[in-house]
Structure 1
């Protein structure tokens, strides 16, 4: 189709991107330093027509094209200076992706023409390529309409939430009840078999690894691998086309919405892992696909005085320039789009410290935090930070503002150390399993601010954590040099697979210990998909490039996997039923509301209260914590005082069997065993002052019914 230039209209500078109104499409692109912009319309055969974008308002280039509608492929050519030493990398030979594109026609096509510079010469990034570069994917105009009738955000309070970190492909690729054509897709997640499993387990929120359109790096494709995780974003508004069922262009947008609606109908929230700290364009030698060719110094943080180079706080070659208002607008517009148009419930921000850097340091009063805090839409969603980056001073666990939850890396490290038998962890453990008040209480946050996790996509799975002392990443093709070396793991006596029944039994118990500790800790628990079944990656702690059964969740059952899943479900059921195990306020360490019993007390195995010496003793590996059901100091949704049963949680990470004296010999109410990681079928009733047998490396949870129950 040929579009007559005389039919073009000026359009409007807002909204950015491609917006169809039923009669035509408005296109708007921000570029502060461009000298000219051409809109490229591409038909199904690849023929391109260039239309000049002549109107510019506040650095936004805009045009309205009549009779253009959904399915139309498009890109931009942006003219301006080629001066990399000053940060300018304009090259009209390169067709660029609209950063506001709502759908992509394809993935990046890797070849020499994916670059705006010469790649075959020393310092070639300083020299503009004259080749026609069509490697960037095209954007596609979408029809945003969707029937959201009946959709309601679950709005599960944080203190009631249980997060399940999952991958769209990894979770569904091997599921036998999901039709083959839906496996690995958004519709696979939406399938009743998948949603039914999540509900059966007790999950309230699924946290999906990145679904924004991303790039498979060329070096991975050359090895026969792929970017599995997706932390290499190229489009902040477009659902990745790789998770689409079928070949219908833009169907991924509708299918994503169908997934969200189905999950919401089951009461499950959708949290997206988002990557706004960098893009897939890499460092100064990387490809020019979108932002670099549109307005490099606006969108990226460049080295002052030598703007050829990029600041890299992310380990990927570049960092988005959140100090610039337009970069902030790009991020905020994207976030609001995913909430208002795609109906997601929250976000986990990858390397969030990079978003808070002012000149160089992480600034808790940064523009990014300020603008999110005051936004009436985003401030009401779940905001979760990965509170670190790779730059100086980037580790910021405990330092994010009010309204932000954080992946608590200190919780992960402490729980791993404690259960592998490392000494000197008792005092830190006390903070971690009670909500990390040392990190979150003083700035007005709550226990649920702590996203408690022991495993995540990045690192060992739970099964591998108790089966390997060393990483085994040979399959990644990097000589086993990639991935973390500090895993804080223990293989229980043999590296990797073994037939030794004693080792297998110990590993199973250790998995139960860690899972129970996680689910009975104050804070918001996050489970890595498959950990509840003992999923292994064969010791690979960096599965970023393994899109294969190595990282996919198996759905075949054997006795150990089913037993662990049912154990996890049991622990989650107990957690959901008892507000005392998921408090929304921190402990006070004193009697509450005029009562006589402290809201929390810590005990030694002999039944005596722990002393300062016990907390500091390097050999303290067994302890108990009493949680008073009358000491919640909180009310329910109706305003009535919350009262729960009492609990005693006993943890023994030592290699010795011990007797543990249960507290409150002067109270006639018995202690009833709920959980025993040594013997999940065990039953036991004890009086206060009596001793219970606590097997080496095991955990017990006892309940004492509230008064009058």
Structure 2
């Protein structure tokens, strides 16, 4: 397909857009402030749906929008209206943020021209591309999910003018924090320009997460006032610190929403091609947002690929996380792991080596596809999330499930004989309760979202230690602290890739709100001054241990079979008395204790898990000439002392007199 968007040359600018059903397309040129329309020039058809025009004398910095005309018949999926100014789908920069207004959704001839309400696309020569380097991130590392605005909005060390922006992530204080945790890559929640859902402005709320894009390449000017150069510089700074960058992108829907939504870009250019429709002409809603992108359409498929290539070439990102990823693999409505778009991404010469992470579910028919994507896709593992929460909540009969999750979830990811886990293990993410809220709120508290607590998941597999929400009771506060430590320790002890959401390492809370997408305020802004520094130090120690013990980040499934050459099993599952668990132990629904013993000729690591509320003395198998040491000094204990209830401890075995035994300690 010919190059779309605005192409700047020394003689002028070429504009090109695609529409298979528009009869006429125009480019509207605006003044330097983007307020006054200076000219409206018609594009000529080149065939195959491409319309283009070269405007001589126009230079970089020009502001423009598109307009399209054709049949207007919403019942047939046709929304052409030349009074709607449209953002170029290939825009890489816009001059202001989107703001919802009812006139953007007005029917043809029922509303005035929308140019005054719309951002203008800015023609900009792309910055010099960085050298294309292999991704830093490798499966088995620690992914740190963060909301760019919320992460640094209240950080006292970041200059005020940079707080809440992409540039703030390059600040030395931020990089130091990431390094102390052992972060392998940051995963940035959406940073492309988005629009608020229409019900939010009347409630005085705004979308804080960004999962409601209009187009796919243009960065949100509130997050990246320095544009693509700002992203490029931050990615480079993180890379110099040994930290990769993964972008969370939304290719499943846009902010144009349902039939009552605004006309902003794709809807006004070719609604029937860009979105999926039911046989009766209505929009398919496999996303819960009102529309669903037609990723099996060649024009949309190429746009997705162009977007991914753009961020790799121009910003040097390590890879991508795909929101509601089954949409990308739906062909004629049905999910196909060999879908053309998924195949094209993994075989593209620019993208083939990038990190690819699928959120493997949507709400359409057969939308739950955990384990069904093909390598090299990693997948968010909600089975891990749920089983770990159930175990620590105290549900009966969860020891076997916990062991399976710790060992890499072979029941999910070994279906085709794969040797390694493709799961991304997590306990909490942006969507749902925070780690601290899991142990403090048994039910959601979403009244602030203005939907009478109807939004968000009802079942959170959470608990409150006896009192819902905040409390001054010292015993309950201590219990919640220990529960958070246990959850963090379980995550860092898990085989394969792990993900931690920003702030969970120091007790961030959303006061029980498990769907805080509309809370662009202190509910989601990280409280750096009030963070739990004791919990943070423990997380640092866990990160150091994980880096010091390669077995923890190995993605190969733990099988209990001997490791090649050594003859030592890769893992042994023991009771608290040091005996191998037998069938009776595994089937004992009252069992809440487990030891995971990693094999090794010289050093062994034991993870002691006491999910019972009672303390217990653990016994580990001894070898002549070796002794067991605490692996983390902040949780130091010897085997003669009982392990407190609802806690995890790490012990390293090394040769007696080996001063380097405690490699993971601080």
Q: TM-score range by the shorter chain?
A: over 0.9
Which residue is 2:626 aligned to? 669
- How far is 1:445 from its partner? 4.3
Query: Secondary structure at the residue paired with 2:231?
Result: helix
TM-score (norm 2): 0.95
Give yes or no for the alignment of 1:87 onto 2:77. Answer: yes
Aligned pair in 2 of structure 1 residues 229, 445: CA closer, same or farther (>3 Å)?
Answer: farther
Larger relative contact order (C-alpha < 8 A, sep ≥ 6)? 2
In 2, Cα distance between equivalents of 1:184 and 1:364: 37
* Structure 1 range deviating more: 358-367 or 521-530: 358-367
For residues 446 and 213 of structure 1, do their structure 2 counterparts lie closer, same or farther at Cα, with a shift above 3 Å needed? farther
Deviation for aligned residue 1:205: 0.7
The residue that corresponds to 2:94 in the other structure is: 104
CA distance, structure 1, for counterparts of residue 208 and residue 434 of structure 2: 16
Q: Does 1:406 align with 2:387?
A: no
Aligned mates of 1:606, 1:519 — CA distance in 2: 24
| Residue segments in structure 1 that go unaligned for 5+ positions in a row | 1-12, 119-127, 246-250, 631-643
Which residues of structure 2 form unaligned runs of 5+?
Answer: 659-666
Tell me, yes or no, if the aligned pair for 1:509 and 1:698 is still in contact at 8 Å: yes
Q: 1:446/1:90 Cα in 2 relative to 1: closer, same or farther (>3 Å)?
A: farther
Counterpart secondary structure, 1:102: coil
| SS across alignment from 2:242 | coil
The answer to whether the Cα contact below 8 Å between 1:460 and 1:487 also exists between their aligned partners in 2 is yes
Provide the residue aligned with 1:142 in structure 2. Answer: 124
Match of 1:386 among 359, 362, 370: 359
Q: Structure 1 runs of 4+ off > 6 angstroms?
A: 706-709
* Alpha-carbon offset, residue 147 of structure 1: 6.9
Contact 1:357 1:366 in 2 (8 A): yes
In structure 1, distance between residues paired with 2:196 and 2:488: 34
Cα deviation, 1:480-515, whole Å, max 9, x if unaligned, reads 111111111111121111111111111111111000
- Provide closer, same or farther for how the CA distance between residues 154 and 296 of structure 1 changes in structure 2, counting only shifts above 3 A: closer
| 3-state SS of 1:563 partner | helix
Change (3 A) 1:54 1:544: same
Deviation at 1:706, TM superposition (A): 6.7
* Preserved CA contact (<8 Å) 1:476 1:546: yes
| Matched residue, 2:462 | 489
- 1:371 correspondence with 2:344: yes
The corresponding residue for 1:219 is 199
Correspondence 1:236 to 2:216? yes
Segment of structure 1 superposing worse, 35-44 or 132-141? 132-141
Cα displacement string for residues 167-201 of structure 1 (whole angstroms, at most 9, x for unaligned residues): 11111111111110110111111222212221222
User: Of 545, 566, 590, which aligns to 1:574?
Assistant: 545
Q: Which shows bigger deviation, 415-424 or 587-596?
A: 587-596
- In structure 2, the residue matched to 1:634 is none
Matched, 1:654 2:654: no
Task: Answer yes or no: is the 8 Å Cα contact 2:137–2:318 preserved in 1.
Answer: no
> How many pairs align?
655
- 2:270 matched to which residue of 1? 295
Give the Å deviation of 1:586: 2.0
SS in 2 for 1:498: coil
1:91–1:116: 8 Å Cα contact kept in structure 2? no
Match of 1:186 in 2: 166
TM-score by length of 1: 0.89
RMSD: 2.0
Per-residue deviation, residues 395-438 of structure 1 (Å, max 9, x unmatched):
11111111000110001001111111111211111110111112
1:274 aligns with 2:249: yes
Give the distance between the partners of 1:372 and 1:208, measured in 2 at CA.
Answer: 20
Aligned to 1:77: 67
- Alpha-carbon distance in 2 for matches of 1:429, 1:384: 23
SS at match of 1:262: helix
1:116 CA displacement:
5.0
Greater mean deviation of Cα atoms: 185-194 or 403-412: 185-194
How do 1:333-482 residues align onto structure 2 when only pairs under 5 Å count?
333-443=306-416, 445=418, 447=420, 449-482=422-455
- Structure 1 distance, partners of 2:23, 2:277, is 21
The 1:303/1:81 distance shift into structure 2, 3 A limit, reads same
**Aligned mates of 1:415, 1:576 — CA distance in 2:** 22
Sort the Cα spacing of 1:682 and 1:130 in 2 relative to 1 into closer, same or farther, 3 A.
closer
Residue 516 (structure 1) aligns with: 489
Instruction: State the alpha-carbon separation in 2 of the partners of residues 398 and 692 from structure 1.
Output: 41
Query: Which residue in 2 is equivalent to 1:131?
Result: 112
Tell me how far apart the structure 2 counterparts of residues 81 and 498 of structure 1 sit (CA, whole Å). Answer: 61
| Structure 1 residues 594 and 96: alpha-carbon distance in aligned structure 2, compared to 1, 3 A threshold | closer
Shift of 1:692: 5.2
